[in-house]
Copies of this chain bind each other. A is one copy, B any other.
Amino acid sequence: MTFQVYDTTLRDGAQREGLSYSVVDKLAVARLLDEFGVGFIEGGWPGAVPKDTEFFRRARTELDLKHAVLVAFGATRRAGAVAADDPQVRGLLDAQTPAIALVAKADLRHVERALRTTAKENLAMIHDTVTHLVAEGRRVFVDGEHTFDGYRHDPGYTASVVETALAAGAERFVLCDTNGGMLPSQVTRAIVDLTDRIGVAPELLGMHAQNDTACAVANTIAAVEAGVRHVQGTANGYGERPGNADLFAIVANLQLKLGLPVLPEGCLEQMVRVSHAIAEIANIAPDTHQAYAGAAAFAHKAGLHASAIKVDPLLYNHIEPEVVGNDMRILVTEMAGRASIELKSRELGLDLAGHPETLSRVTNRVKELEAGGWSFEAADASFELLVRGELPDAAPVRPFALESYRVLVEHREDGAVVSEATVKIRVRGERLIATAEGNGPVNALDEALRVGLGRHYPELRDFELADYKVRILEGSHGTGAVTRVLVETADGRGGGWTTVGVHPNVVEASWHALVDALTFGLDRGLRHRV
């Protein structure tokens, strides 16, 4: 039976405090998860959450998934209703996904006290909804909410929930440790006991763990060792309370420690890139101490080991960091980061392998900028401009030079809020002054720049500022806080690029990112024309 890696970053992971994805964010995260090679992407609850309905609608035309199947998440039919007539159930079908995940109560106490229905009706709700969705041609997963707590309380009832779901045609019954209170040995015992009791193959079960005992990853591994062949997790362990099981650590442990090849070839080494890019989209600082994916995951501080590491790095690393796309770091050496910079440049079509000096220059420049708060993880276009700036034959064409700009924001007596920007620039020897309004200071600057450049570069009209993210970073080494801005530009043909700017002043940081965005787009156009 195929091993199923099932991601719920966009549904259960979105329960993390402070996290709120836009539809565009969700589409971008889904693309990244697909690049990481997961088999299933649970996208949200269509019908119940308007943003999720919209996500599934746009996914049909805007997502071209290579590895993953999209899954709509929802609940079993209401008590007393007919599945086919239940609007919530219809919402799931309307999402037009190949697969649907249904949450079902697996703990009798929750059936009676939270759902306020009977033990029998709960089973009927599961049976009817699964049967209906299967008849409509869907693959169905059933998430047993509070399976473990329920099984401890009343094993007979919880077992009957599992049997009902599978008998009705569910592809997997997922054991959910909803409150996250389990330990690995308890997971093992529960699965062995349950499978013995009802004679079900553990391959028909899945595992969904929460991290309330700091054992979510271990609980998931324990389930796999007990025969489960479907694991659920979220990128970077995002989720409610302490979070869900970190899918990256789960997958790395399965592949590298248990020898189970659960991802397609070539995907595991995307981990660090995908992990950090999703963190940027979620606007959460990446956890530098995350297992496998963290920037410090293979960082060695102890001088004690320095010479031994030179003898054999594997004496002091539990795996080769490159296998998950990470790097070993020992103090601040020139070696650090080279591998990932070379890899990333190659990805962008720039071969630095034969240019060790250029690679060193770029690595040093990146280190220097990152020490000042820059981050290129999610800003490929700025990174490409930086690398190409170090290659004499590939240096990008700068479309203009700045003399000065001025931005004004007014909240007037009548309550109107207006933004206005003026730029003074030189384009191909000509000095230009342009003024424009916008719905905010950055938009006004962008508009003024476009007015100024428009006559020389009419193709600018196709570029659109698609997204704009701001993060305030604490200063290090006594400097003040700085602002990091990410600007995503759409090229009007379904493509786009992301640029970054950093400065203590948010407007100046935005200006850097805007200039990189226009430079990248115009330069790319020029090169493609040649």
Contacts and interface: CB of A to CB of B under 8 A. Distances in A.
A213 interface: yes
B413 A404 contact: yes
A160 interface: no
Given A213-B217, A213-B257, A300-B241, A474 B24 contact: yes
Interface string A144-186: 0000000000000000000000000000000000111101111
A325 to B, nearest CB: 16
Nearest to A465: B481
A322 interface: no
Interface string A501-517: 00111111001000000
Given A184-B222, A249-B214, A242 B296 contact: yes
Interface stretch (A88-96, A434-442, A518-526): A434-442
A283 B485 CA distance: 13
A225 B184 CA distance: 11
A518 to B, nearest CB: 16
Contact of A471 (B241, B258, B469): B469
Given A318-B181, A472-B469, A506 B411 contact: no
A250 to B, nearest CB: 8
B114 A315 contact: yes
Contact of A505 (B16, B237, B441): B441
A467 interface: yes
Contact of A297 (B109, B113, B241, B507): B241
A289 interface: yes
Contacts of A403: 413
Nearest to A285: B474
A463 interface: no
A315 B109 contact: yes
A72 interface: no
B335 A508 contact: no
Contacts of A243: 289
Given A183-B218, A291-B211, A298-B241, A308 B114 contact: yes
A118 interface: no
Of A185, A377, A473, the most chain B CB neighbours within 10 A belong to A185
A419 B407 CA distance: 9
A327 interface: no
Nearest to A258: B183
Nearest to A503: B417
B409 A507 contact: yes
B23 A184 contact: no
Contacts of A178: 316
Interface in A446-486: 467-474, 476, 480-481, 483
Interface string A286-321: 001111101011111110010110011001111100
A410 B405 CA distance: 6
A170 to B, nearest CB: 21
A439 B480 contact: yes
A377 B240 CA distance: 13
A289 B506 contact: no
B183 A240 contact: no
Given A404-B413, A483-B440, A23 B315 contact: no
Interface string A380-417: 00000000000000000000001111111111110001
A403 B411 CA distance: 8
A302 B179 CA distance: 13
Interface in A311-342: 311-312, 315-319, 331, 334-335
A17 B185 contact: no
A330 B406 CA distance: 44
26 contacts: A16-B296, A17-B289, A20-B375, A20-B473, A24-B474, A110-B315, A113-B311, A113-B312, A183-B258, A184-B184, A184-B221, A185-B221, A212-B297, A213-B253, A213-B291, A214-B292, A215-B215, A215-B218, A404-B413, A409-B508, A411-B508, A419-B507, A439-B480, A441-B505, A441-B507, A469-B470
Interface of A: 15-18, 20, 22-24, 49-51, 54, 109-110, 113-114, 178-181, 183-186, 211-215, 217-219, 221-222, 225, 237, 240-243, 246, 249, 252-253, 257-258, 283, 288-292, 294, 296-302, 305, 307-308, 311-312, 315-319, 331, 334-335, 375, 377-378, 402-413, 417, 419, 439-442, 467-474, 476, 480-481, 483, 503-508, 511
Q: Lowest 8 CB-CB distances: which A-B pairs, in order?
A: A181-B318, A218-B218, A470-B470, A114-B308, A214-B249, A214-B291, A22-B474, A214-B217
Given A240-B300, A470-B470, 20 more contacts: A17-B331, A22-B474, A24-B474, A113-B311, A114-B305, A184-B184, A211-B291, A213-B253, A214-B253, A215-B221, A218-B218, A242-B294, A404-B410, A407-B409, A411-B508, A417-B503, A417-B507, A439-B480, A440-B505, A467-B472
